Amino acid sequence: MLSPSFNRNIKGIIKKLNFPVYVVVLDKRYVCTCRDENNQPDPACPKCLGTGYRIKIRKVLAAMEPEDENGLIRNEGKRVMNSYYFDADTTPREVVQIENIIVRDDEVDILMYPKLYRSDSNKVIYYYCPSAEKRTYKDVFLKNFWKLVGGR
């Protein structure tokens, strides 16, 4: 079991290192009208950003492992994975779902297998979210994303 001081220390580190990111939250209950006859979404769709689902964009705070840490996996010198940490007290649960998309500057990551870390009283303390770099249609995704949020 994790001690209360351990949980406070983890939360303190997350709070000290966090910075704003955007999270594209997928609502898989609703599919986008851009899907073709093969049920494939249009990568250039400005409504769903090529995800094929209804989306909601949230701006939240996250901490990320620095690129020189062990949590980073590289393939032929290119970044392919990062790990994000979210304080459970300030991050809505919908944000930390598998396949949601994190945007920070011109980096786009897709969440994979988020984990919830709990205290001894079973309260969620923080979320750990490994992510993979979005590789397909990244430029068109970012162009449409920044149009939606009114940036860049």
69-85 pLDDT, tens digit each: 444 555 555 556 789 99
Torsion of CA 133, 91, 71, 12, to 10 degrees: 150
**3-class state of residue 20 by DSSP:** strand
Whole-angstrom distance, CA of residue 86 vs CA of residue 88:
6
pTM to 2 decimal places = 0.86
pLDDT at 71: 47
| Structure token digits, residue 92 | 């809505």
φ, ψ for residue 145, nearest 5 deg: -60, -50
11: enclosing H helix or E strand? helix 4-17
145: enclosing H helix or E strand? helix 138-149
Average pLDDT over residues 88-108: 94
- 68 pLDDT tier (thresholds 50, 70, 90): very low
| Structure token digits, residue 40 | 């494939």
pLDDT at 53: 97
Judging by beta carbons within 10 Å of its beta carbon (0-12, 13-18, 19+), is residue 84 exposed, middle or buried?
buried
Whole-angstrom distance, CA of residue 116 vs CA of residue 100:
16
Q: With 90 as the cut, is the pLDDT of residue 25 above it?
A: yes
Q: In sequence order, what E strands does 1-152 have?
A: 19-31, 53-64, 73-75, 78-87, 101-104, 107-111, 115-118, 124-133
| Structure token digits, residue 137 | 């249609």
- 131 pLDDT tier (thresholds 50, 70, 90): very high
122 or 126: which leads in pLDDT? 126
Judging by beta carbons within 10 Å of its beta carbon (0-12, 13-18, 19+), is residue 133 exposed, middle or buried?
middle
pLDDT at 66: 54
Return mean pLDDT, the chain: 87
